[in-house]
Structure 1
Amino acid sequence: MDQASIQQTEGVIRNIIVEISRECLSRGTTVSEVLVAFIVKAVALDPKNNFYIDRYLTKNDVQRLITLCVKKLMTLDVPSLDTIKMQIDFDMNYADRASFLMEHKRVLNARLLPILNEICDCRARNKEELESLYRKIVSFCILKSGMGNATDITVIRETTAALQSIFPQTELANFMIQNRVPKENQLNDLNCLVVGIRLFNKDCAKECGNFDDLIGLLNEAIPQTTRNLDNELEKNSKNILACNNLLQILQNTEPPEKFPITQQFAKMIQINLHQYEIYVKIILKDVVTCAKHTESLKQKLSEILVELHNTLQNKTAIATNSVYPKFNYISELWSSIQDEMIILSVITNIFNSLNIYVENEKNMMDNSVINDYISFNFKEKPGLNVNISFDKSPFIHYDWIDIEKVKHFSNNMLQFRSFCPTTLVNEGGILKRANSNIGVLNYKCKYYAFSNADAAREFCENPDFYLSSILQIAKSNSELIQFLQLHRQYDSFSVFGSKQLDQPRHPITTNESTCQTDTHFYNSIIIKNYDWNEWELRRKAIKLVNLRKKMTHSIQTDNSNYRIDNCTQVYLPKEKSSQTMAVKSSDVPKPQVFFKGLRGTTTGEPTVIAKVDLTLDIDY
């Protein structure tokens, strides 16, 4: 299949998606392209529809595919479609913490870009233009920090006072002569200092600081969100238990006439509730992480504020290098607290959006007819979880893992979301939690757990059969593809045409390169007296034997030691000289003025600004 055929196939798929979206819109339903693409793939993979992935579609096949997809999308109150929508919604909106924060910062920088361009491109020439530029810098600090409304006069005055204490208007001339990058860096530095000063002023005087108390909001929102998620998990667990009991009853007995739920419908509800449970647990885990980070940040912020109070206590003047780093650290902590607020808000919105996909299923399981039927017919099997051990000797060629002897083993490592594959096949798609205490099977570098010993024994007798059967069941129940994390098994196939594994979708790029190895990449080591010849070694041995039989004679007299040569060397002293630099100039003291009271007071009294002249005397 060449590149032109692949492009033609993709064009046909896009046309099918557009046609399905247009048809659904004409019937009053708006669907996303991602949902339509998934439904097209699901319908094409379903064996009941008789589409073949290794054959091109005819015009009649295309029209039939469109009709089936529209029918599936327009079917209301079907749990399988609700599950697919929930999966797509969660995958499109949920991401890790770093991605959430990166996207938020990207949006914030895009909103700040117009005012940033105005500040960096400004060429003020008179007093009015300089004042306008300074007001824009104040607005930038308010918008960048997110601390208050940029149109609130109280917030503007508070930010202006903090900015003037570190960046007076007289510094605008030096600011404007810089290039754009230094300007942006200086603006970010000024914003950090302004945030630190405003937070310190608010801690000094509680009536100051016209911005949200994020720590207080998080202290209220996190416990409330955690309680809501726990309550939702508890209710959902009861619904799952009721659905499991109903499936067990429907397997053994025929339901009465006009019963509101069939066995296949109950299977769809079970998958929907389990998928909802998985997503809620993921969100709850993020909320717990957010709570831990918030508590740590709150403690660090309290400690640095106390340290800053001790540094500035009863001091009229202090070096900037001792307080500016603390203001910057306060700003970093506040930015991290804002990040936690953003994370909590996003995941709460995701949680609220998931409720619409389980609303019908919840109402169905709350039906009094169904609950009365379950209460009347369900009888718990005795000894259901007793048989958790079995003889592994017939399957000794398999690798079994005892989780009690393995550290840091997690159920997330198990295949099929920790559900039993044997039960999934034998009972036609019914989900049943696996018990890892029975033992975990390592088959082809993947881990499988089972609900009981009999299920483990059956799987070991023919594991490939069960794995292939699960793929076939997932084709008929498309919501299982994402739920059981089988999407990678189907990514190698296109919706129609031929297998994508036959030809790569993109040409393989190559690049010619050369390399050279040094001739002697180690330092040369040559031992001149080294011999490798056996006969040469024998000759040296004979010479040593002959030398052993010789005698050495020496004669020494009393005056022999006077023949030793002695010599002495001294260094004559060098001439030393020195030179002193003569300074013939005069210098006057640099005027220095300090304004006291710019940071406010701790008693809440009106601030009195005092001017102190720190200029040294000329005779100093």
Structure 2
Amino acid sequence: VFEEVLFALKSILDDEELKEFATTSNSTKQASLEHFTRVVAGIRLFNKYCDKGGEGIANLPNLIRKAVNIIRQRAEMTLLLVMERVNLLTTIVDKCYTIKTTSKGLHVDIVLPKECLPNFSINYMTDLLIFFRQYELIMRKLIEEIEVISTRSEFVLKSIDKYLEKIHDTVFMRLAIPVGVVFPLFEELSDTWTHLQDQVILLTRFSQIISNLEMYARQVYNEEILGEQLSMDYYALTDAERLELTAHNTIESNNPNVSVYSIESFKSFDAVKLEYLGFCPWKLVETKGALIPGNPSMGVARYQEKNYVFSTVEASQEFCKNPELYVNYILDLAREKPQLIHFLQLKEELEKVYSIEK
């Protein structure tokens, strides 16, 4: 490797140029060294391509493709496990609450189902559900980023092949080539290779994030504690199954400040931002933190240019009576449970309220 680098360096810097380099300022030396490094790296990469050198240079194309597949599979398997726990916890928490009618409107009562053992703690389950919904969101974003890296890496690999072929065509059967022609190609090849290395570093960091989350989840989610609180013969509904149960319902609003739209009225519903990530705001308030998904198929309520969805018709009716009240209650809840602030994207709203109070 040393000899190859030395020969490559001599090919771009003769003795006279070396003496001249030694007399330049530090800033000029630094700029020149960066240039020399890129050119030499490009030469070594081209030598590897021609099977005439490049010893010690990793086979990044194969490495990154394998890494993408391994980390993608790991992330997807982790997400499946996370969703199993999300489904179980959501089913448990939702089943613990029964809607009741009072003189002040609808509220929820805690009525523990028979599957709950004497040591059952609804607060523990609610906080655990928040954690795993956060975990789910992170894993979905990581999977998206892994796909971005995969696409970007394939583009970079094609660029590397293009530069290698271009250099080959430039130097093939030629004894002398102007440095102004070939050196920029070596530099571009080196820069493109560096971009590929960056993708490997990102994948390594993503893998570390997944490992850290798995380790933290093992500390938070204790099978023994769960077994002490809950009978294991428990059927967990998926989000899709839960939404199917209320898909035939339709919400309405008697509040002139709240409009209700059907899901079909949106050109691209996937692009519509739902407040609280689509979790039911009424249930969130009444249960003090339970993340129960709202069902857009029942309709979307719009209040002050913001969109809300609900888990039941009753929840939408109560919210629409006084939406501002529930919005403020959720901000208060976020102060009590700060893990909800970033997860439900409440930071900006809390800052506005803080400024008003000051």
TM-score range, shorter chain: 0.7 to 0.9
Shift, 1:373, TM fit? 4.2
SS of match in other structure, 1:451: coil
Partner residue in 1 for 2:3: 157
Which residue type is aligned with residue 130 of structure 2? I
CA contact (8 A) 1:411 1:418 kept: no
Shift, 1:396, TM fit? 5.4
User: CA 1:206–1:461 in structure 2 vs 1: closer, same or farther (change >3 Å)?
Assistant: farther
Which residue type is aligned with residue 389 of structure 1? T
Partner residue in 1 for 2:100: none
Which residue type is aligned with residue 251 of structure 2? F
SS of match in other structure, 1:458: helix
Q: 1:438 aligns with which of 298, 319, 339?
A: 298
Counterpart CA distance in 2 for 1:439 and 1:214 is 50
Q: 1:181 aligns with which of 27, 41, 53?
A: 27
Q: 1:457 aligns with which of 317, 321, 332?
A: 317
Shift, 1:368, TM fit? 5.6
Shift, 1:264, TM fit? 1.5
Q: 2:80 aligns with which of 234, 240, 249?
A: 234
The sequence identity of aligned pairs, in percent, is 25
Cα offsets for 1:287-320 (capped at 9, x unmatched): 1111111010001111221222122222222222
Partner residue in 2 for 1:344: 203
- Match status 1:197 vs 2:43: yes
Partner residue in 1 for 2:246: 385
Cα offsets for 1:201-249 (capped at 9, x unmatched): 0000166321222222211111100101100111111111111222244
Shift, 1:401, TM fit? 4.9
Cα offsets for 1:63-95 (capped at 9, x unmatched): xxxxxxxxxxxxxxxxxxxxxxxxxxxxxxxxx
User: CA 1:409–1:372 in structure 2 vs 1: closer, same or farther (change >3 Å)?
Assistant: closer
CA contact (8 A) 2:331 2:350 kept: no
Counterpart CA distance in 2 for 1:481 and 1:263 is 21
Cα offsets for 1:338-365 (capped at 9, x unmatched): 1111222222222222223211444438
Cα offsets for 1:421-460 (capped at 9, x unmatched): 0221233321111233433333223332223444333322
- Match status 1:308 vs 2:167: yes
CA contact (8 A) 1:236 1:273 kept: yes
RMSD: 3.0
Gaps of 5+ in 1: 1-154, 494-498, 504-620
CA contact (8 A) 1:412 1:418 kept: no
Q: 1:274 aligns with which of 121, 125, 133?
A: 133
Counterpart CA distance in 2 for 1:256 and 1:457 is 30
CA contact (8 A) 2:274 2:308 kept: yes
- Match status 1:262 vs 2:108: no
Counterpart CA distance in 1 for 2:272 and 2:214 is 24
Which residue type is aligned with residue 423 of structure 1? K
Counterpart CA distance in 2 for 1:368 and 1:259 is 11
For residues 317-328 of structure 1, the aligned pairs below 5 Å read: 317-328=176-187
SS of match in other structure, 1:428: coil
Higher Cα Rg, which structure: 1
CA contact (8 A) 2:116 2:231 kept: no
Shift, 1:323, TM fit? 1.6
Partner residue in 2 for 1:294: 153
CA contact (8 A) 2:273 2:307 kept: yes
Q: Whose helix fraction is larger, Structure 1's or Structure 2's?
A: 2
CA contact (8 A) 2:115 2:231 kept: no
- Match status 1:374 vs 2:220: no
Shift, 1:192, TM fit? 1.4
SS of match in other structure, 2:301: strand
CA contact (8 A) 2:44 2:53 kept: no
Shift, 1:159, TM fit? 1.2
Which residue type is aligned with residue 312 of structure 1? V
Counterpart CA distance in 1 for 2:70 and 2:303 is 43
CA contact (8 A) 2:96 2:112 kept: yes
**Matched residues, number:** 340
Counterpart CA distance in 2 for 1:257 and 1:327 is 68
User: CA 1:410–1:254 in structure 2 vs 1: closer, same or farther (change >3 Å)?
Assistant: closer
Counterpart CA distance in 2 for 1:268 and 1:502 is 29
Counterpart CA distance in 1 for 2:305 and 2:116 is 48
User: CA 1:165–1:387 in structure 2 vs 1: closer, same or farther (change >3 Å)?
Assistant: same
Cα offsets for 1:361-393 (capped at 9, x unmatched): 4443895663524249xxx9896223343345x
Which residue type is aligned with residue 279 of structure 1? I
Counterpart CA distance in 2 for 1:250 and 1:454 is 17
- Match status 1:470 vs 2:293: no
CA contact (8 A) 2:299 2:309 kept: yes
SS of match in other structure, 2:302: strand
CA contact (8 A) 1:239 1:365 kept: no
User: CA 1:334–1:383 in structure 2 vs 1: closer, same or farther (change >3 Å)?
Assistant: closer
